[in-house]
Structure 1
Amino acid sequence: MFANENRAYRKSLASHGLLYLGLAEHEIVVVNLSITGLLALLKVNPSLAGIKDIFRALQVSPLVDFYLPDMNLAGEAEVVRAESVDAGFQIAVEFRNLSYDVDNLLYSRRAYRKNISAAGHIVFNDTDYAFNTENVSIDGIMIRMLGRIAVEEGTVASFDFHQLGVEGEAKVVWVEYDEISTLMGLQYLHLRRGEIVGVPKFTQPILKLA
């Protein structure tokens, strides 16, 4: 009788959201949800070519981003199953990183921020500084640098971020310090090379299902 005691309780519901997979945002209908993951159907059943594209994307990486506006929830998840069923194309994911109260965050930040930790360089006053990203959006990045870097808000600086193949200029929006590092929010002004790919927007409201 206790065979399923280790499985997380799953609540059936008909909520909706977005799943970022294969460099595209897909509308989803959530079939059921637990504290560890969710099962969803793509709202638009993909074509055979679209299904092949999905599986190619999952071969590159099983990690996807999701946004559930009804629950003010977004984050990163790992796809553990993807298959065609009678009802459409079904995807099961396990949560990896979660953000709560997302609607307020999206309103204040204008775009979803994806947790990415990678190295880059930025130039202030003709001095090159190494940084690691804390998160990335289509509008800007949050970076951390070792030491106390004296920079004023509004300063414009050149930067490069090799993981996304991007370089350009950004404006310092805010600066914070702790005992060993400087945390900084940057807004892109223009990009000289590349574009922001692999990061979802998650900014448009989703119409509720009838």
Structure 2
Amino acid sequence: SETGNSIMFQDRKEYRKNFTSSGQLYFGGEALEFISHDVSVKGISIEVLPGLLLTSFADFEACLAETASAEIFVKDLMLTGEAEIIWLRQENGKTLMGLEFKDVIYNAEKIWLKRQYYRKQQQFSGYMLLKNKRIEFEGKNISVDGLMIYLIQGDESLIPGAVVKLFSEALNIRALAKVCWVKSEMTGQGQFMGLRYLSSE
């Protein structure tokens, strides 16, 4: 019946609207905490809390210009998987994001913790070539589509959008990558950087 359907739809809308869970979003080489606002079978909208490196709305915008892929863990649903960021906006100083699930596994807290553990353990070194200039780096974090690195000595030519060749024997990586974001250290000359793979061998 018409009324039955509209009541069911109303219920679904309520369910979508009121779902609040904490979780983690792995985006641009950083694990970020979030609070979800609503969730459906296809996706979720969240408020992302500032990270150590992705702190401002402009940082998120710059990173999203390079990649829309993220990995997500929604605590109360025990759900983890890959997601695509569909929209990003700022409201009352908060960074809000809409994500569409791509590949999701339920009851997946162990998988997420394992991934987190793997990332934390992945301390690796390597170097990149930018116009034949060799720049050494320390790897801080790694995901399916990129990595986060630290340069002891920053380089002015490494700006968002720059394309570099990446080499790391420890991880057996030879790849072409694009700089997503750059954050200079408050003290000293160092720089943190998020990179997205363009192609790998």
Identify, as 1 or 2, the structure richer in helix: 2
Q: TM (normalized to structure 1)?
A: 0.47
Q: TM (normalized to structure 2)?
A: 0.49
